[in-house]
């Protein structure tokens, strides 16, 4: 049987009006009274009635510097919002640093859209059940694509096309995905007897673009490039255009993303695609089910990637 607001008031020794004021964030209530009421409500597992009809699912987000949420983040938020609406739920955006507010809001589950190892560390302390997309968090239900395979498949595709001077551009954001992609890239080169050359590697740490590292990679004789990470392919393609290099005539390019612009690039980009829509659908379905009372169990669900050949890789074998 559901706990009533009257039971919370009786247990805390206050009036129903005081409980209502506190739960709705109204001012002019002493801090000690607020703490007592909230503690009582959580202990009794009380859920405010105002949230029973239209469930609210928080989405913990991390913006990354001057790039904000980026194209990937914006697309994911749009998909999650639409999927939640189909389940008669509302989306509530919360910065990862404010994860403790979820308990005060009586959130039963929350989605996570983050990128960095810092975010994963912060959220490992969150008491609310989390469903994290593409950035594993300790204790959460983690739904992600195999980023090691992302990097491996990118390098292997280029090696099988006959390339030996293979460069890599990768986002500077430190995190599990970045590191796994780079390790996969290096492993594939090693498995195929192609040495990894640090002179053919660069990131966007200095100016948030890839023009400088791409210039250096071209100067050192690369015949192919792997763009490892969200939106990296777009920036690398622009850098190559600025340098007057044609894809794939002058240099081959493969990207570990399949955004809407990938098929409209000139030429369309060959991609190692993540099943972004499928991951979002599963994450929303799991979060809604947990919020509705299903048992939460932290675990990893890993999706495979798919190569989409579009013509930006030239076979020189």
> What's the pLDDT score for residue 52?
44
Residue 50 confidence class, pLDDT cut points 50, 70, 90: very low
The residue-averaged pLDDT of 130-152 equals 96
User: 69 or 292: which carries more pLDDT confidence?
Assistant: 292
Determine which of 20-29, 249-258, 299-308 has the lowest per-residue pLDDT on average: 20-29
> What's the pLDDT score for residue 96?
93
Unique residue bearing structure tokens 């005539």: 249
> What's the pLDDT score for residue 103?
80
Unique residue bearing structure tokens 């293979």: 166
CA angle 195, 162, 181 (to 5 degrees): 50
Q: What is the mean pLDDT of the chain?
A: 89
**Whether the Cβ atoms of residue 301 and residue 146 lie closer than 8 Å to each other:** no
Unique residue bearing structure tokens 């673009």: 209
> What structural domains and CATH numbers belong to the chain?
5-50 (1.10.260.40), 54-145+276-303 (3.40.50.2300), 147-275 (3.40.50.2300)
- Kindly state the percentage of the chain with pLDDT values over 90: 61
The residue-averaged pLDDT of 221-247 equals 94
Distance CA 47, CA 106 (A): 7
301: its two tokens: 């669900």
**Whether the Cβ atoms of residue 270 and residue 224 lie closer than 8 Å to each other:** no
> What's the pLDDT score for residue 211?
92
Q: Which helix (H) or strand (E) holds 271?
A: strand 270-273
> What's the pLDDT score for residue 105?
78
What is the edge-to-edge ordering of all strands in the sheet holding 306-308?
Answer: 201-203, 166-170, 224-228, 252-255, 270-273, 306-308
> What's the pLDDT score for residue 257?
86
pTM, whole model, 2 decimals?
Answer: 0.83
Distance CA 140, CA 85 (A): 23
The residue-averaged pLDDT of 175-200 equals 94
Unique residue bearing structure tokens 């594939």: 188
The answer, yes or no, to whether residue 137 has pLDDT greater than 50, is yes
- H helices present in the chain, as ranges: 5-12, 16-23, 31-43, 70-86, 101-104, 117-123, 147-160, 176-191, 211-219, 232-242, 276-291
The answer, yes or no, to whether residue 68 has pLDDT greater than 70, is no
């Amino acid at each position: 049987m559901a706990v009533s607001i009257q039971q919370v008031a009786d247990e805390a020794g206050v009036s129903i009006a005081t409980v209502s004021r506190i739960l709705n964030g109204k001012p002019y209530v002493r801090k000690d009274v607020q703490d007592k009421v909230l503690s009582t409500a959580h202990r009794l597992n009380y859920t405010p009635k105002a949230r029973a009809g239209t469930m609210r699912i928080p989405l913990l987000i991390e913006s990354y510097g001057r790039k904000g949420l980026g194209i990937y983040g914006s697309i994911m938020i749009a998909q999650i919002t639409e999927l939640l609406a189909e389940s008669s739920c509302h989306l509530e955006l919360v910065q990862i640093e404010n994860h403790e507010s979820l308990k005060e809001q009586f959130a039963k589950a929350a989605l996570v859209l983050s990128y960095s190892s810092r975010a994963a560390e912060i959220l490992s302390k969150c008491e609310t059940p989390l469903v994290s997309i593409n950035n594993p968090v300790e204790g959460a239900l983690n739904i992600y694509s195999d980023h090691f395979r992302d990097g491996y498949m990118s390098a292997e595709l280029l090696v099988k096309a006959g390339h030996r001077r293979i460069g890599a551009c990768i986002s500077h954001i430190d995190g599990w995905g970045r590191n796994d992609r780079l390790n996969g890239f290096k492993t594939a080169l090693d498995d195929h007897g192609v040495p990894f050359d640090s002179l053919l590697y660069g990131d966007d740490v200095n100016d948030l673009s890839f023009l400088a590292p791409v210039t250096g990679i071209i100067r050192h004789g690369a015949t192919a490039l792997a763009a490892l990470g969200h939106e990296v392919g777009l920036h690398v393609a622009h850098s190559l255009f600025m340098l007057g290099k044609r894809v794939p005539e002058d240099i081959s390019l493969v990207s570990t993303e399949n955004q809407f612009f990938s098929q409209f690039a000139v030429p369309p980009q060959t991609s190692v695609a993540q099943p972004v829509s499928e991951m979002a659908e599963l994450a929303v379905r799991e979060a809604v089910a947990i919020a509705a009372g299903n048992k939460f169990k932290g675990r990893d669900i890993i999706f495979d990637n798919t190569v989409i050949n579009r013509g930006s890789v030239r076979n020189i074998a």
